[in-house]
Structure 1
Amino acid sequence: MSAARLFVEADLSSGIEVPLEEAQVHYLRHVLRRPDGAPLLLFNGRDGEWRGTLAARGKKAAVAEIGDLTRAQESEPDVWLCFAPVKRARIDFIAEKATELGVSVLQPVVTRHTAVERVNVARLRANAIEAAEQTERLSVPEVREPIDLGRLLDAWPAGRRLLMCDETGGGPPIGDVLGQLDDAARAAPWAILIGPEGGFAESELGAMRRIRDVVSVGLGPRILRADTAALAALACWQALVGDWRRPTPRLATDYRTSKVTV
C-alpha cells in the first residue's frame, strides 16, 4: 500500500501521536479509504520526514502514530517568487507549480497595471501544501499577503538579488546572465519578479533598476502570459543557479499518482 503524505504543523519525533485535521481525516478515510494502521509519511518543514500509521481517535478524529525518520531536513534554495496576481485558476496554477519548482516564498505584488483586486492567501497556501505533499518537498513555501510594489522595493533586503523579468525586451537573455554568475552570486539569496498582464509602468521599471542587486533579463522573443513567465524564469534559475545543479536522489515514486511507495 502506498503511503499518503501529509503536511502537519506539529513537531515530529519518534513515539508521539500527531492529531490530524478534520479535512485530512476525511481525505484519508473517504477519498483514499485508508483503514487504521495504513502507512503515512509526515513532514512539517522543520524536522524532516517521518513514517507514521493512521489510528482512529473517535468517529471523525484520527492521529498519526509517529515511527522512524525517513529523511532528515535538507537545505533548500532561498528564492522568492514575487508576482502580480492574475485570475483565480491561473494564480492557483502559479502557487502549485512554483512550489514544485522549489520557491521559498510566494509574494503577490500589486502594481499599477494589476487587474486582480483580491488575493485568497489561504487558498494559495492550500495549493502550495498539496503540491509539497505530492512532490516530496520537505517544506512548504511561505505565502505572504499582497504588498504594493513600491513598499516591497522600499524595504528590499540588502544582499538579496532581484531577477527582474523585463517584458519590454530591454534585458539580455536570461540564460546568458545566469550562466555567467560567479559562485558568490549563485550562493546569494534571490527573488524573481514577474509583472502583470499589462506590464510594468515606466516608473516601476525605473524604481526596480535602482535596486543595488537587480538583474534585468529577457525571456525570449515571444510575449509570455504572466503565469508562463513565472514558471519559465523559475525553471531557468533552478537549472543554472538552484538545486537542479545537484545530483537527483533516487526515490521510489509512482509518478502517475505522485505518492511515495514504501
Structure 2
Amino acid sequence: MSIPRLYTEHDLAEGEAISAAPGQGRYLGSVMRKKEGDEILLFNGRDGEWKARVTAIRKDDATFTPEERRRAQTIASGPVLLVAALKREAMEWVVEKVTELGVRAIHPVLTTRAVPDRVNRARLFLIAREAAEQCERLDVPEIAEAVPLYNALGAWDGSPLAVAAERRRAVPLAQLPPGPMPALLIGPEGGFTGPELDALARHPFVAMVSLGPRILRAETAAVSALAVLQATRGDWAHQTDE
C-alpha cells in the first residue's frame, strides 16, 4: 500500500511532534486505515519531504512526529497562471490539473465575460493541496485573491506575460523567442472582449500567443498551454533532482 503524503503548515524537524490539519486525522484513520506507529510522508513547502510516524490518532485528531528528511526543498520554478474566473467545477478542475503541471502560483482574474464575480480561495487552496499531495511536489502553489483584469495588469511587475488570444494575429506559443519562463493568461468562456485585448496589447511585457486553429474551452486552454511551456522551457525540458 502506498504511503500517505500530507501537507502541513508546521515546521518540520526531527523528533518535533506536530498536529494534523483539519480532516487529516479522519482521512488517515477512516479512509487509509492507518493507526499509531504507521509511516506517512510530510511536506510544507519549506523543509523538504520528511518520513514521519503517526504518534496519536483519534477521530479527526492526529499527531505526527517527523523522523528523517527524504528530499531537500527545491525552489519553485514553474510558471504563474492568470486565469479568468470560471464556473466552480471548471475552476476547481483547472486548479487541480495545473498544480500537477507545476505552476507556482494561480491568480484568478475577473473579466467582462467571466461568469462568477468571485472565487472561493479557501476551497481552491484545498484542491491545490490535495493535488500536491498526490503528485509528489514539494509545495502547494499560491492561490491569490481574485482581482479585476485591469487591476492585475496595473500591478504587474513587468515580467513576460503570454496571453492566449484567439482570433488575433499571434505567434504560436511554442515559437515564443527564447527567454525566461513567461506567466500565462487564459481568458474566460467566450474569450476576452475587444477592449480587453486592446488594453493587454498596449503593455510592453505582453506577448499575444496562439494555441492553434481550434477554439478551446478555457480549462482545456490552460492545461494545454502550460504543457507547452513546461515542455519547451520548463521542468519537462530540464532534468530536476528533487
User: Residues 224 and 59 from structure 1, CA distance in 2 versus in 1: closer, same or farther, beyond 3 angstroms?
Assistant: closer
Does the 8 Å contact 2:83/2:188 carry over to 1?
yes
1:156 aligns with 2:180: no
Does the 8 Å contact 2:24/2:62 carry over to 1?
no
Question: What is the match of residue 258 of structure 1?
Answer: none
What is the rounded CA distance, in whole Å, between the counterparts of 1:34 and 1:67 in structure 2? 17
1:232 counterpart SS class: helix
2:107 counterpart SS class: strand
Shift of 1:59: 5.8
1:225 to 217, 221, 228: 217
1:195 aligns with 2:183: no
Does the 8 Å contact 1:7/1:42 carry over to 2?
yes
Amino acid at match of 1:66: P
Shift of 1:22: 3.4
What is the rounded CA distance, in whole Å, between the counterparts of 2:143 and 2:169 in structure 1? 30
> Which runs of 5 or more residues in structure 1 are unaligned?
252-262
1:213 to 198, 205, 213: 205
2:216 counterpart SS class: coil
Write the mapping of 1:23-172 to structure 2, written as runs, cut at 5 A: 23-56=23-56, 60-158=60-158, 160-172=159-171
User: Residues 59 and 195 from structure 1, CA distance in 2 versus in 1: closer, same or farther, beyond 3 angstroms?
Assistant: closer
Shift of 1:245: 1.1
1:239 aligns with 2:231: yes
What is the rounded CA distance, in whole Å, between the counterparts of 2:21 and 2:142 in structure 1? 20
Shift of 1:2: 2.5
Does the 8 Å contact 1:76/1:243 carry over to 2?
no
What is the rounded CA distance, in whole Å, between the counterparts of 1:2 and 1:58 in structure 2? 22
What is the rounded CA distance, in whole Å, between the counterparts of 2:229 and 2:147 in structure 1? 24
TM-score (norm 2): 0.95
TM-score (norm 1): 0.88
Which string of whole-angstrom CA distances, capped at 9 and with x for unpartnered residues, describes residues 33-63 of structure 1?
1011111100000110000001116664221
Does the 8 Å contact 1:2/1:39 carry over to 2?
no
Question: What is the match of residue 259 of structure 1?
Answer: none
User: Residues 147 and 19 from structure 1, CA distance in 2 versus in 1: closer, same or farther, beyond 3 angstroms?
Assistant: same
1:245 counterpart SS class: coil
What is the rounded CA distance, in whole Å, between the counterparts of 1:101 and 1:60 in structure 2? 31
Percentage identity across paired residues of the two chains: 43
What is the rounded CA distance, in whole Å, between the counterparts of 1:98 and 1:233 in structure 2? 10
1:69 counterpart SS class: strand
User: Residues 13 and 172 from structure 1, CA distance in 2 versus in 1: closer, same or farther, beyond 3 angstroms?
Assistant: same
Does the 8 Å contact 1:3/1:38 carry over to 2?
no
Shift of 1:110: 0.4
Shift of 1:76: 2.5
CA RMSD of aligned residues (A): 1.6
After the TM superposition, which segments of 4 or more aligned residues of structure 1 sit over 3 Å from their partners? 57-60
Does the 8 Å contact 1:110/1:148 carry over to 2?
yes
